[in-house]
Structures are given as structure tokens and as C-alpha cells.
């Protein structure tokens, strides 16, 4: 099977890039797989793609490279196919429209997979007849503006399937009423880390992700102020960068937590940092999936997370491999953290359960689900082709039979007339 992924920029850093690479690398063990990056802004990808996946780009944005196309006049004119309501619209243009269309008209793949709404629209409208067309949703339908939802409602019926990363988002997509389009929830994958899992003895709570408002690290820091009052021997490390850094630093100083809460900046790889901790914390008001939850669990950490839409409740079994607490409640978050901090046996037991439960997110498991989906859609596509061929052949045979019958009847009539 030849599988082709279309991605915004394979050379950047982000959850969609990482999970696409994980999936492609695993599928490439059994299939012919390529990733086509619309944009390219650096020489080599940040994440490891492995030797089995082909990677190419459509528009070169490396300013110091010989193929730089950022000054192309067509790249200064806005895109017409890529939806204007998509949050990456400013990076798309008449040039990207043209290159994507050329790519999709020529593609020889059995399956073509888009990895964001704007690219899914391109695939729906422009991919040649033949390949199975899949549109992935790595965020959530509910967070898209109304104009984008209308664009998806208009284009997506030409897809064969839409995949979401949570069951909750799959239910939302089914309300769009996309006739003939299969909607399937398939989670993101996270490979097993190449290190020993945490043993639960380190007195560290670990959090990771963009320092963005939606992550509500202010709630986590306020919760940890309550933790530090009772257990001053424990510390909190927060990994990541972003616009909220200055405000979070000021809050840490205001609460006198400069010896207890540390903004560590980005870390890649992150697995060694998870393994140094004993508990992971997630304080978000919204998660499209919860990659950091799975990453922490794969390193043997129980996760204390807010029960926000959409992912945590589908990943964590409350009281078994982690804890779920109400959104935006520092006291509830602090209480759940203290329960695990003060109970060594429960913390270690939940860590072992988290490690075992996280196997369902292994790339081999997730790739297997995609493989089954691709096989079923290809069989359905081939079945339609076979039925179409049968109807055309039957029609031709019937036409020939009727023509022969008419000719015979005419001959008889001719003899009788004579």
C-alpha cells in the first residue's frame, strides 16, 4: 500500500508533526510511505523520521537556500482554496494553492491523508479520482470558528473518512451530517521511551506544554502553593516556552515559590525529564487530546489532570492510573496532588498502572487501527469500482443482445415484406 501524508510544515515543532512522524515511521515497516510538506523552512526535520519514510516539500521557504520562493509574487497573493478561517491562512498563498493542486492531481498513492482542516479541504476538492481520501483532525471541531465549520461542511462530503483523536470529537463531527463519510476516533501514538520508567521516589511534580493561557499554569502554580505549605520538600518543574512566561514568573515571585516552582524552558527529548519525576500534572481548560498525559504515563507517572474537554477523561481512569479534578480549581488540584504525595504506595501503584495502560497508545497499536481503516476503505472503493464495471459490462451486453434481437426482427420483417 502506498500512503501519502500531506502536512503543513514537517520541519517545525509540534504535536501534529510528532504524531504524524510516529505513525508514518511505523506504517513504513509494512508499506510505502511518504510525507509531503507544503512548506520547508530548515534543512532537516527536528523529529526523527527514520530511514523508511520519504520526505519532500512543495514550497521552499529557506531564505539562505538556493530554492527560496518566499519572494515569488504568487506567494504574496492570498490563497483561494485554503480556507480563510483556518488559523494558518496567512502562511498560504496562490503559490501554495497551485503547488498543492499539482501534487494532488499527480499523486499515485492508494491513500492520501491530510493533517489539518485547510489541507483536508484541498484533498477533498483537488485529489484525483482513485486514492482513498482521509482528513485528520488534530484539534477539535468545537474550537473552529463558524466560517471554517461551514467550509468543512461543504468540502468534507468528498472525503472517504475523517479521523479525530478523541471519541468526544468524533461525536461532534457526526453532527455535521457528512453523508457517506466515515468518522472514526483514532488516538495519537507515543512510542515507548528508551529508558527505565520512573520509580516514584523523586520528590518532583512535572508538567510540560506551551506556556499558553489554555494550559492554565497559573492554576497549577496556585495549587502548588498549597502543596508547598504541607510538603515543602516537594518541587514543581514546568517545561515549555510561550507567551505566558513573564506572567507566570511574576506569579511565582508573588507567591514566594521561587524555591519550589521552576520554569525550565523547552526540553527535547522530554522523556528523561518525566522519568525524574513521580507525578505529572495537567491543568488545562481544554485539550484536543493530551499528548503530555500519554508521554508521562509511558514513563510510569500517574497523572493528575483537569477533567477538561476532550482528552483527559478518555485517557485517565480516575483513581486507577491517575486523578481527574474539576477545571480551574486550585484547591481540588492541590488536594489530588497531596493525596499522591502523601501516599507512597498509592503513587507507585498508580504509576505502574499508568505504564501498563499506556501501551494502547503504542505506535504499533495505533498504526494497526489505521491499517484496518485504510484496508476497509480501499475494499469499499474497489467494490464500488467492480460494481460500476459490472453494471457497465451488463449494459453493454444487454445493448448488444437487444441490437442482435432488433436486427433479427428486422430481417424477419424484411422477408415477410418481400
The reply to whether 241 and 108 lie within a common domain is no
Residue numbers of the chain with a pLDDT score lower than 70: 384-418
DSSP calls for 49-93: --TTEEEEEEEE--TTSTT--TT-HHHHSBPSSS-TTSTTGGG-B
Domain with residue 230: its CATH number is 3.40.50.2000
The reply to whether 168 and 68 lie within a common domain is yes
Q: What's the predicted TM-score (pTM) here? A: 0.86
Q: How many structural domains are present in the chain?
A: 2
Structural domain includes residue 390? no
Structural domain includes residue 392? no
> Which DSSP symbol is given to 134?
E
Structural domain includes residue 403? no
**Which residue range forms the structural domain that includes residue 90?**
2-185
The reply to whether 7 and 149 lie within a common domain is yes
Is residue 7 within 8 A of residue 38, CB to CB? The reply is: yes
Partners of residue 287 on adjacent β-strands? 310
State residue 80's pLDDT score.
97
The reply to whether 220 and 316 lie within a common domain is yes
Q: How far is CA 259 from the centre of its chain?
A: 36
The reply to whether 319 and 181 lie within a common domain is no
Over the stretch 315-335, which tens digit does the pLDDT of each residue have? 999 999 999 999 999 999 999
DSSP calls for 173-223: HHTT--TT-EEEE-----PPPSSPPP-S-S-EEEEES---GGG-HHHHHHH
What is the CB neighbour count within 10 angstroms for residue 189?
25
Torsional sign, CA 249, 252, 255, 257: negative
State residue 386's pLDDT score.
46
Structural domain includes residue 233? yes
State residue 188's pLDDT score.
95
Q: Of the candidates 185, 213, 239, which is a domain's last residue?
A: 185
> Which DSSP symbol is given to 43?
S
* φ, ψ dihedrals at 270, nearest 5°: -95, -20
The reply to whether 93 and 218 lie within a common domain is no
List CB contacts of 376: < 8 A, sequence separation 6 or more.
none
Give the Cα-Cα-Cα angle 125, 131, 132 (nearest 5 degrees).
85
Query: Could you tell me how many residues make up the chain?
Result: 418
The reply to whether 213 and 164 lie within a common domain is no
Structural domain includes residue 237? yes
Structural domain includes residue 122? yes
The reply to whether 323 and 208 lie within a common domain is yes
Q: Of the candidates 353, 370, 401, which is a domain's last residue?
A: 353
Structural domain includes residue 367? no
The reply to whether 35 and 138 lie within a common domain is yes
Q: Of the candidates 353, 375, 398, which is a domain's last residue?
A: 353
Structural domain includes residue 25? yes
The reply to whether 60 and 116 lie within a common domain is yes
Over the stretch 344-373, which tens digit does the pLDDT of each residue have? 999 999 999 999 999 999 999 999 999 999
The reply to whether 180 and 272 lie within a common domain is no
What does the alpha-carbon distance between residue 54 and residue 186 come to, in Å, rounded to a whole number?
A: 23
Burial of 249 (0-12, 13-18, 19+ CB in 10 A): middle
The reply to whether 169 and 77 lie within a common domain is yes
Amino acid at each position: 500500500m502506498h500512503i501519502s501524508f500531506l502536512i503543513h510544515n514537517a520541519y517545525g515543532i509540534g504535536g501534529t508533526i510528532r504524531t504524524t512522524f510516529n505513525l508514518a515511521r511505523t506504517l513504513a515497516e509494512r508499506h510505502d510511505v511518504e510525507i509531503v510538506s507544503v512548506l520547508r523552512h530548515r534543512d532537516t526535520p527536528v523529529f526523527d523520521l527514520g530511514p523508511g519514510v520519504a520526505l519532500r516539500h512543495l514550497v521552499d521557504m529557506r531564505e539562505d537556500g538556493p530554492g527560496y520562493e518566499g519572494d515569488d509574487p504568487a506567494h504574496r497573493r492570498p490563497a483561494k482554496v485554503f480556507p480563510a478561517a483556518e488559523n494558518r491562512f496567512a502562511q498560504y498563498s496562490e503559490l501554495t494553492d497551485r503547488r498543492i493542486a499539482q501534487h494532488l492531481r499527480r499523486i499515485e498513492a492508494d491513500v492520501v491523508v491530510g493533517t489539518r482542516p485547510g489541507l483536508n479541504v484541498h484533498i477533498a476538492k483537488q485529489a484525483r479520482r482513485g486514492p482513498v481520501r482521509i482528513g485528520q483532525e488534530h484539534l477539535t471541531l468545537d474550537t473552529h470558528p463558524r466560517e471554517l465549520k461551514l467550509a468543512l461542511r461543504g468540502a468534507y462530503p468528498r472525503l472517504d473518512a475523517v479521523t479525530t483523536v478523541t471519541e468526544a470529537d468524533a461525536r461532534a463531527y457526526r453532527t455535521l451530517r457528512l453523508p457517506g463519510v466515515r468518522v472514526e476516533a483514532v488516538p495519537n501514538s507515543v512510542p515507548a521511551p528508551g529508558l527505565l520508567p520512573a520509580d516514584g521516589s523523586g520528590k518532583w511534580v512535572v508538567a510540560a506544554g506551551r506556556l499558553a493561557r489554555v494550559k492554565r499554569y497559573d492554576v497549577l502554580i496556585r495549587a502548588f502553593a498549597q502543596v508547598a505549605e504541607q510538603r515543602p520538600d516537594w518541587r514543581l518543574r514546568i517545561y515549555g516556552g510561550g507567551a505566558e512566561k513573564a506572567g507566570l514568573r511574576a506569579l511565582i515571585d508573588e507567591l514566594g515559590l521561587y524555591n519550589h516552582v521552576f520554569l525550565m524552558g523547552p526540553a527535547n527529548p522530554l522523556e528523561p525529564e518525566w522519568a525524574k519525576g513521580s507525578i505529572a500534572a495537567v491543568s488545562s481548560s481544554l485539550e484536543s487530546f493530551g499528548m503530555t498525559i500519554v508521554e508521562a504515563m509511558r514513563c510510569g507517572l500517574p497523572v493528575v489532570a483537569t477533567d477538561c474537554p476532550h482528552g483527559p477523561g478518555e485517557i485517565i481512569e480516575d483513581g486507577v492510573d491517575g486523578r481527574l479534578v474539576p477545571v480551574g480549581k486550585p484547591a481540588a488540584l492541590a488536594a489530588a496532588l497531596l493525596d499522591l504525595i502523601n501516599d507512597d504506595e498509592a503513587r507507585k501503584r498508580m504509576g505502574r498502572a499508568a505504564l501498563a495502560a499506556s501501551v494502547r497508545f503504542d505506535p504499533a497499536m495505533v498504526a494497526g487501527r489505521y491499517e484496518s481503516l485504510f484496508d476497509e476503505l480501499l475494499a469499499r472503493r474497489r467494490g464500488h469500482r467492480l460494481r460500476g464495471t459490472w453494471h457497465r459490462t451488463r449494459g453493454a451486453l444487454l445493448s448488444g443482445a437487444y441490437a442482435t434481437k432488433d436486427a433479427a426482427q428486422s430481417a424477419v420483417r424484411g422477408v415477410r415484406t418481400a
